[in-house]
Amino acid sequence: MRYIGNKTKLVPFLLETLADLGLSPGVACDPFAGTASVGRALKTAGWRVHCGDLLAASYAYQVARVELDRTPGYPGSLVGGSEIGRSTSYAAILRVLEGLPPKHGFVTEHYTPAGEDGREHGRMYFTPENGASIDAVRERIAEWEQEDLIDRASEQLLLATLIQAADRVANTTGVYASFVKTWQPNSTRRIRLRPVRPAVPPARSALGCTAFRGRASALLRRVGSVDLLYLDPPYNERQYPGYYHLPELLAQGWDPPPELRGKTGLIPDDDLRSDWCRRGRCETALRSILDQADARHVLLSYNDEGLLPRDCIEDAFRTSGDADTFRVFARGYRRYRSDSDGPDRRYSGDDVRERVYYVRKS
């Protein structure tokens, strides 16, 4: 999934940093999991990972990519089987979902030109055909969950699969803060459900990974003492619920239907906003989480264009841990662009530096 701050390309750098620090696998906490790229990489490297995030869409990815150790089996009745106890595969379930007849539902009505609300606001997030397919799949998953035919993990794996599939055909430039006014080539392709593969643990030490939806402070209280706290908070003033309201809608569902607002159909998100995206509050948020952390080692991954100044981060880290162990690692990479330079938006350049701050707690 296209996601601001996604660390997929920086995973090798992060693993190299752990090796440079001499940190061997133990228990790790990742409270800003996003699409769970780092959590998945840590688990694959042998860490037992407890990850979390405020967004329901992130929770689906956490379960699918980190918590699950293998793809689950599904009841055979979901594909027409009648034998008691019979199970079927994840791949078979995806074929069933792809074969559902289209349905004019919430997404079609509000986020495609086929609905009255979609036409009124000019919303072109999905073609009517893909919108109707998304509606059919999401509502069938909800039916299975309500009838107790699938468990929580199996449901979240299917939701992550749908969110990823919808993102591939979304008529956006990478974020959902706006839609493109003409159909892009990717948006006119038929939506396809491709498997999301759980990370296979390399050793027993990596078993027992967990997913969590909520604030970082709540996750830290829940997991207690850990070997590694990995922090990857938002960098700038863009609030993620507004930039990814459609993946969040697919994860949350629409029973009852949310009250949409604005031209882009934003969903209610007051309880999902982060102090890390607010000047004047992000420094307090950093010091608070460092004070609360019961961790032997702390890493913070932060863009050099972020709201927090480097000297502020360094002071907070030196104050919260053994100042003599403080270190900074840096790696350049190509900037994520959701659009091109224009009269209302100019990027300062294509190259950005990611800095990873480290301290050992006292």
The pLDDT tens digits of the residues spanning 270-308 come to: 999 999 999 989 999 999 999 999 999 999 999 888 999
| Confidence check: pLDDT of 238 > 90 | no
Residues 76-100, mean pLDDT to the nearest whole number: 86
**Cβ-count burial 5-14 (b if 16+ within 10 Å, e if not):** bbbeebbebb
**C-alpha distances in Å from residue 282, one per residue of 6, 313, 348, 353:** 20, 11, 23, 20
| Confidence check: pLDDT of 88 > 90 | yes
CA angle 168, 174, 177 (to 5 degrees): 120
**C-alpha distances in Å from residue 347, one per residue of 35, 179, 338, 344, 350:** 24, 20, 11, 10, 7
Backbone angles phi, psi at 179, to 5 degrees: -115, 160
Confidence of residue 347 (pLDDT cuts 50, 70, 90): very low
| Confidence check: pLDDT of 336 > 90 | no
Confidence of residue 357 (pLDDT cuts 50, 70, 90): very high
Provide the CATH topology of domain 1-70+199-239+274-362: Rossmann fold (3.40.50)
Confidence of residue 62 (pLDDT cuts 50, 70, 90): very high
Nearest C-alpha neighbor of 63 from the set 151, 192, 141: 151
Residue 351 confidence (pLDDT): 72
Residue spans in the chain of domains classed CATH 3.40.50.150:
1-70+199-239+274-362
Q: Are 55 and 251 in contact (CB under 8 A)?
A: yes
Between CA 112 and CA 327 the distance in angstroms is 49
Residue 350 confidence (pLDDT): 58
Residue 81 confidence (pLDDT): 63
| Confidence check: pLDDT of 269 > 90 | yes
Residue 346 confidence (pLDDT): 46
Top pLDDT among 239 and 339 is at 239
Q: What does DSSP say about strands 327-334 and 351-360: parallel, antiparallel, or unpaired? A: antiparallel
